[in-house]
Structure 1
């Protein structure tokens, strides 16, 4: 799905063993035999005259050996309670593995004088980053046509830039946070995370010798860029709350302690990041939240330059920018929810603005309209090449791409945009790469039934050339069906529903079903292909996606109607979808399961409280189930940034009361809950492990039912679970086996 990851010393070095400590915190002498029960340590907090007593807040003490022992006891119990599912997990893992072309490679993408691509090899967990020299014959089309490289077969001149398998050797976790190659192609900067906490170490490699430079910078965040001369590397730093707040520059050959802070954001509710301009001459620094933003530019050709403000947050414009030169003058293509002369454009509009305009007061600036606002089209963003503007937009819930020349942009001479056409009704078409100098742009296409395809679109002719479709062994699209349905919420709102099924499954009211949802941050659950999902469909389960409010499928209003004081719409929409598929005959009333992760895990916790009788089982992945506690503490990771999504319960008593009325942990009731599995990771910085740890404790304490409630915690992982593709497949197999077992759908149809 669309979804946006410690090594420990030996027990002898820690005093009592974890197993011994586990005995002390459980009600039985055999860890794993019964659910572990954490001791109660009442902790009070009071806001707006309301006092809440939290008996399990002490589990937040991550470095406490007793907490670690308790978490390991949870893993032991989860393993014991689900041991009978191991053969099914093995079968699903094997199916994923057998369907996947393990030795494969990406379509090469040209940047400057090289073709860059990635390889995967059978039996190896991680990607290998490679390149081969490009030719310049003077024939632009030929020079930009990617070379044909066969899987598993190196070609002459192939150079390995970075082997993730070698980097991960001996490490509990491995993830890349970014890569950048210097303009001359000689240096590689990359960022590595070996803990899963998304704090990376920056390293620099000389690609001529293969040697690492002495330069190392710890604690960097996502995103890297070289200066044009290759002497400086720009990067982002997070503060103690995991909020990116600084842009710094490292001069190669110097100590990291001497790195200069080029930009610092002091507002705890604002996120900072940067993008390298397509022509690689400036950094576009963006500061913002979900409701408004601010843009600065930095000339990286000048080592003494400092950021220059373009559009201030004081204007309360939610926007993004792409710099482009037209007729020798610098302009910016601005995607925004208002302009100096259009007060409201919630679905965004696109404008062309000359650089000099930003020096004038906002109300006096001249912005030329490129794409006007439309109620039925959401502009998602733009990109530019030297000759064309590329626009990502959403219409009828579907993400697509439109392309038009820069010549005449924003004037009466502007050309009509061209949209590459595809056959399926439900699909996702998005930009997969657009090098500034290229006469081709790359488009990725996928659907619920079509594995990812890579196309090159020729800007001069509009010709669309298929470069690759991801191979899926033994897959026949005719065996499956994906269709759009609509449910109706209690307030009359029509909710998009995606229904995927094996072609042999009929709407006769007997089938098991899995309902998936997210519904936050304006993130859309777009059509994508998933090999693991086939194992669910093959067992006769109807896979349903509830496109609830809070997502972005139907434009900005769809998001606004599922956030802050309208957040409960996400939960009731999900329930309405569940009831709809039963009424429509797609699901047997006693054979429905639910799944969601992160903010979708909050959704799972909420529907478990509101309608536990509707579900046989619920899987909550890295679930945000104690949202109020987290957001009340601005010192916790990301909490202050969340105020624009959920509201600020610290300052606003109405927000506090509303959040308390739905936060899953604080609304557990004495009812028979279904089977519940909470899946989390110790080093997750986005949703702390303590939230599901507390949630499962209170669920077991309060439920009047007898169904098992388990928590599986990855002790060396982060928000995405364990690292490595095989470990990821095992995680998916665990989740799906849990659901299939609960639904009595373990055999293939």
Structure 2
């Protein structure tokens, strides 16, 4: 390197749509297998390494801090299912963990009905964590010899003697499935390739179902694999031919039904197979309708002490944007016959429902916060209906790890910006809440972590159109007090996403402690396009309303400046994937508002992508972004904000763009082209870091991931003046 950044050659590529002509000088970078492209990406990596060499010490300190605060040899809270307690383990010095189990107890003993998970006295890396431990999968062994490793999913057969699991060693999210005999430890000859994620066993445990993708990376087929056969002999169960829809297969918690979901952005459709009556075959529950989304769950409502009534729970938006919970008989049922159980409420967004033998768990949100709702099922049918409550101003609550239909407890997770991730068991029988585990935060330099040393707030900015936009913020109390006393702004790290109705709910981070303890504040802008404030929040941040996402984020940043929290030069913005598009847009719209911008795997060339139906995910994304190839209004709208197309001779702040060569969701070429154009048009101070052996989620392995995050965070702290 000569002290100058790489210069990408210009090779004009012209396209015309709806009479509009675009010239793209850097489309040649799309040729992933071209040695010239790889050489350019490697030159960019060398330039980034050179420009960040002064941060090497800080990067190592950040890595050392998160490592020191982490209990490296640990295990998750065991989850009970089919006579075993299942848990995951981590080991000091190892990148990956292990999947394990121990027997619950002798079925004849009193402990058989005890839902209290076993707790080890101490955990040593070279010893079983619990008596009778069986290692189902050693992830380190599976990852050996691979630069990248990801476990896509694992499923134990109903007999508990077989384990089907999927792995990805490239990063392209196309998985290989193997089956392990848990009695012998040997692998069966069954081998499936090109699978999307994991598998779903049938009740007999003699076959399982899985999905595959088409050439545009859309899950379009569901297959049935009979153990002992080859993949070439697998039965095609369902083929989704509408290119806007994807499909997947699963099982109800009761184990009675297998279900296939076909889903687009604005429409869903379910098929079910009753394993009590397999001769009936797969049945369509309710045909797809444009704009109607629904999900299907099996429940059993008791009445007068009898055996109970089997029915489907249908969570749907046919009566309102924020969804209603209805019931339907175990049969194909048009929506005119769905009966409301929880009526639509515009102040409460119903997101999901889990059915158990004695209760329902409803996942919902209101005023931007998640809520967990319990509906008890008594001998007289529907019983009490209430929320599980916590007292923090901002928080995230949800349930998970509840596989058993007859369990009387609800395993739930709770966290906030200052509260480490906490696992609770809520016992519906006596309504008791028991903390099973809180994420350990080990002392650093002899100092214990104390959540009371930090304060968190819910703030509200006002958008361009007068809409109130929530902000979640955390800062050290003493840092805030000192800043107020001196009348000076705080360095602030502002995060945003704003797409796909995905909510960026507040949660704890060990890495974040390192920036908070250095004097930074951290905030999340809950902008439109996400789901924090209900379905309308999403609808008003997509397609022809997408600009609201960008102007909301800018409004949040300006609110934090106007209310004395920070200043533009002390604000670093960060977002990834669709949040990377947000970063590119706010760089163009308000370059003066930022002291720096981090864009991870950024979707910044979205007009080019959405014009090419052959690219991964394009067609299924039309309901999110619009179809610019078919609609000139959509073309013009996307062209008005697309980050790559709108690069201009502006005073851009320093920008760090991060990507992965094998990403199939947002191709590496988008940030590569964006960086080249930012330099050529504006002379911007911009860096491109490309992981050459990773996918959309970045590098694999926890230590590699820590080093990767330390790199990004050191750059952020440098821009905040805290390096």
TM-score by length of 1: 0.91
Residue 446 of structure 2: aligned partner: none
Q: Retained in 2: the 8 A contact 1:137–1:143?
A: no
Deviation at 1:242, TM superposition (A): 0.9
For residue 58 of structure 1, the aligned residue among 14, 23, 28 is: 28
| 1:246-269 deviation digits (Å, cap 9, x = unpaired) | 111111111111111101101111
For residue 254 of structure 1, the aligned residue among 208, 229, 239 is: 229
Alignment pair present for 1:388 and 2:359: yes
Question: Partners of 2:609 and 2:276 in 1: how far apart?
Answer: 42
Aligned positions, number = 702
Deviation at 1:304, TM superposition (A): 7.0
Question: Partners of 1:218 and 1:607 in 2: how far apart?
Answer: 41
Structure 1 residues 601 and 500: alpha-carbon distance in aligned structure 2, compared to 1, 3 A threshold: same
Question: Partners of 1:660 and 1:233 in 2: how far apart?
Answer: 45
Residue 167 of structure 2: aligned partner: 192
1:124 match: secondary structure: coil
1:505 match: secondary structure: helix
Structure 1 residues 670 and 606: alpha-carbon distance in aligned structure 2, compared to 1, 3 A threshold: same
Residue 316 of structure 2: aligned partner: 336
Q: Retained in 1: the 8 A contact 2:246–2:263?
A: yes
Residue 6 of structure 2: aligned partner: 36
Question: Partners of 1:298 and 1:262 in 2: how far apart?
Answer: 11
Deviation at 1:442, TM superposition (A): 0.5
Question: Partners of 1:743 and 1:427 in 2: how far apart?
Answer: 26
For residue 480 of structure 1, the aligned residue among 429, 454, 468 is: 454
For residues 276-675 of structure 1, what are the structure 2 equivalents within 5 Å? 276-299=251-274, 306-314=281-289, 316-326=291-301, 327=307, 329-338=309-318, 344-356=319-331, 358-359=332-333, 361-363=334-336, 365=337, 367-407=338-378, 414-434=382-402, 435-474=404-443, 475-506=449-480, 507=484, 508-675=487-654
Question: Partners of 2:21 and 2:590 in 1: how far apart?
Answer: 27
Deviation at 1:588, TM superposition (A): 2.6
Q: Which runs of 5+ in 1 are unaligned?
A: 1-29, 339-343
397-406 or 560-569, larger mean C-alpha shift: 397-406
Residue 68 of structure 1: aligned partner: 38
Question: Partners of 2:280 and 2:135 in 1: how far apart?
Answer: 34
| 1:116-138 deviation digits (Å, cap 9, x = unpaired) | 00110101111210000112346
Q: Retained in 2: the 8 A contact 1:134–1:143?
A: no
Instruction: Give the root-mean-square deviation of aligned CA atoms.
Output: 1.6
572-581 or 131-140, larger mean C-alpha shift: 131-140
691-700 or 33-42, larger mean C-alpha shift: 33-42
Question: Partners of 1:501 and 1:214 in 2: how far apart?
Answer: 55
Q: Retained in 2: the 8 A contact 1:206–1:212?
A: yes
1:726 match: secondary structure: helix
Q: Retained in 2: the 8 A contact 1:605–1:664?
A: yes
Deviation at 1:325, TM superposition (A): 3.2
Q: Which runs of 5+ in 2 are unaligned?
A: 302-306, 444-448
Q: Retained in 2: the 8 A contact 1:329–1:354?
A: no
Question: Partners of 2:379 and 2:520 in 1: how far apart?
Answer: 52
Question: Partners of 1:200 and 1:504 in 2: how far apart?
Answer: 49
2:262 match: secondary structure: strand
Question: Partners of 1:605 and 1:196 in 2: how far apart?
Answer: 25
| 1:258-290 deviation digits (Å, cap 9, x = unpaired) | 111101101111121122111223222111122
Q: Retained in 2: the 8 A contact 1:481–1:500?
A: yes
Question: Partners of 2:276 and 2:12 in 1: how far apart?
Answer: 58
Deviation at 1:704, TM superposition (A): 4.7
Residue 115 of structure 1: aligned partner: 85
TM-score by length of 2: 0.95
Deviation at 1:56, TM superposition (A): 0.8
Structure 1 residues 669 and 332: alpha-carbon distance in aligned structure 2, compared to 1, 3 A threshold: same
Q: Retained in 2: the 8 A contact 1:141–1:439?
A: no
Alignment pair present for 1:174 and 2:149: yes
Deviation at 1:302, TM superposition (A): 7.2
Alignment pair present for 1:737 and 2:714: yes
For residues 211-222 of structure 1, what are the structure 2 equivalents within 5 Å? 211-222=186-197
1:694 match: secondary structure: helix
Question: Partners of 1:166 and 1:301 in 2: how far apart?
Answer: 40
Question: Partners of 1:408 and 1:503 in 2: how far apart?
Answer: 51
Question: Partners of 1:672 and 1:611 in 2: how far apart?
Answer: 10
Q: Retained in 2: the 8 A contact 1:228–1:301?
A: no
Question: Partners of 2:606 and 2:432 in 1: how far apart?
Answer: 49
For residue 712 of structure 1, the aligned residue among 681, 689, 692 is: 689
Q: Retained in 2: the 8 A contact 1:568–1:662?
A: yes
